């Protein structure tokens, strides 16, 4: 599982970084990916990373400020031209559907795939679940309704103990595959073998939290609880808390404090004010690292790999 940063700036693009967009590349053997926010020119940013627009499965919009969604109409339209024919599902605040419907109506845009839009209420809720993932959303504190998202991957059986399987008379092949995918098998003599019988521990599911624009709040702590990675805005440097809160944002130290309270493993700072150049990012990281040790500053086209943990 990888997190690609397509835009890490706040408010408007500048020569250092584009506006907000983040891609979650799903783990192999999946080839799909999910997008969190879609600032202006996100489809241009995608040309610099190994993600195909036709493989985009879901889009999660945190809020309706322009720097988080002005890139949506163009990206959705281009997906048709890129061979995207599978359904695409979008989640976001109330008003998202009206925005897309209005732009598409005025521009006579037609898609070659089904677009499903879910407008979310301003309350904590589970919004998606399947055999691999569960996604939860919750309201943050910003100048307009704004959401944070928590992606939980399900645990998987650990490595198969091949010697033990062979000792039980199980030959490699489809039965191995069923056990590896978490399904029990039945032998010819009626013996039932479960994955727990023949696997070495479990591969713990990963947790990724992507927060929209926010001032410090309890929901940010809740969504980030025990996350392997929290993506947290850090619009301003330490010492500018009053200015940050005036506009519904956080400082570097406040982002680090959220990660600390949540018991997260790593925090990626993003959504930097245009006042900071890329050369300033080291100082911003140092501020946060004084509170929380494992912190990075996201940069455009940067990637974070999130590994599974093998637990016995």
* 249 labelled ligand-binding: no
Cα gap 260→124, rounded to integer Å: 21
Paired tokens of 163 = 């010697």
130 assigned binding-site residue: no
- Which tokens in the block code for residue 198? 């023949």
Determine whether the annotation assigns residue 63 to a binding site: yes
65 among annotated binding-site residues: yes
Which residue of the set 67, 221, 228, 300 is catalytic? 67
DSSP sequence for the chain: -EEEEEE-BSSS--SS--B-EEEEEPPTT---EEEE---TTHHHHHTTTT--GGGEEEEE-----HHHHTTHHHHHHHHHHTT--S-EEEEEETTHHHHHHHHHHHHT---SS-EEEEEEPSS-EEEEE-SSEEEEEEE--SSS--EEEEEEEPPEE--B-HHHHHHTTPPSSHHHHHHHTT--EE-TTS-EE-HHHHB-SEEEPPEEEEE-S--S-HHHHHHTTT-SEEEEE--B-TT-HHHHHHTT--BHHHHHHHHHHHT-S-EEEE-B-TT--GGGHHHHHHHHHTT-SSEEE--TT-EEE---EEE-
Tell me whether residue 67 is one of the annotated catalytic residues. Answer: yes
- Residue 232 annotated as part of some ligand binding site: no
Binding-site annotation, residues: 63, 65, 67-68, 142, 213, 271
Give the residue ranges of the annotated binding site for Zn(2+): 63, 65, 67-68, 142, 213, 271
The residues assigned a catalytic role are 67
């Amino acid at each position: 599982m990888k997190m690609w940063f397509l835009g890490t700036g706040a408010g408007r693009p500048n020569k250092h970084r584009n506006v907000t967009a983040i891609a979650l590349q799903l783990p192999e053997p999946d080839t799909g990916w999910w997008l969190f926010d879609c600032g202006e020119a996100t489809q241009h940013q995608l040309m610099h990373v190994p993600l195909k627009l036709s493989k985009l499965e879901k889009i999660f919009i945190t809020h309706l400020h322009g720097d988080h969604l002005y890139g949506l109409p163009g990206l959705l339209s281009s997906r048709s031209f890129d061979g995207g024919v599978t359904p695409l599902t979008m989640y976001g605040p109330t008003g998202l559907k009206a925005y897309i419907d209005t732009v598409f109506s005025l521009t006579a845009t037609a898609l070659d795939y089904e677009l499903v839009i879910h407008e979310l209420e301003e309350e904590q809720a589970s919004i998606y679940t399947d055999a691999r993932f569960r996604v939860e959303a919750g309201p943050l504190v910003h100048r307009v309704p704004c959401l944070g998202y928590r992606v939980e991957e399900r645990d998987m059986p650990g490595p198969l103990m091949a010697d033990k399987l062979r000792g039980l008379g199980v030959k490699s092949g489809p039965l191995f595959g069923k056990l590896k995918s978490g399904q029990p098998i039945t032998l010819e003599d009626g013996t039932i073998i479960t994955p727990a019988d023949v696997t070495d521990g479990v591969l713990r599911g990963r947790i990724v939290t992507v927060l929209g624009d926010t001032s410090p709040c309890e929901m940010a702590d809740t969504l980030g609880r025990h996350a392997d990675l929290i993506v947290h805005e850090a619009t301003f440097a330490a010492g500018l808390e009053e200015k940050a809160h005036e506009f519904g944002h956080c400082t570097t130290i406040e982002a680090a404090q959220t990660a600390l309270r949540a018991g997260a493993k790593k925090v990626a700072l993003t959504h930097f004010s245009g006042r900071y150049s890329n050369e300033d990012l080291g100082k911003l990281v140092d501020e946060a690292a004084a509170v929380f040790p494992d912190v990075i500053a996201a940069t455009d086209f940067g990637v974070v790999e999130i590994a599974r943990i093998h637990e016995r």
